[in-house]
Copies of this chain bind each other. A is one copy, B any other.
């Protein structure tokens, strides 16, 4: 694209879009699933389960941290990650604000 127009939109829309983007890759969903099933796990465990190189997994983990979907703590030479449920709640809330409210009008004048 010539220029990035993302900044032209409403902050709430941008926030929702960024959360959605964080879970818009199957690798990141698999990572979130792995962490949530074990309720916490170190980076190495995730790498073992994933069909990706260590550096790639690390990159995906950083994106999830940046989006606020997971938290990480350094534990010796290892890194431990767990789900940040606060952000998941926020995601569901914003998602609902945008779409569930309008769902009430579901059976009104629809053209298609």
Contact = CB atoms under 8 A, between A and B. Distances in A.
A31 to B, nearest CB: 10
Given A24-B21, A27-B5, A111 B40 contact: yes
B13 A112 contact: no
Interface string A16-54: 111011011111111011001101100000000001100
| Contact-residue size bin, chain A (C-beta under 8 Å from the other chain) | 35 or more
A5 B52 contact: yes
B16 A73 contact: no
Contacts of A33: 13, 98
Interface in A48-96: 51-52, 71-73, 75, 80-83, 85, 88
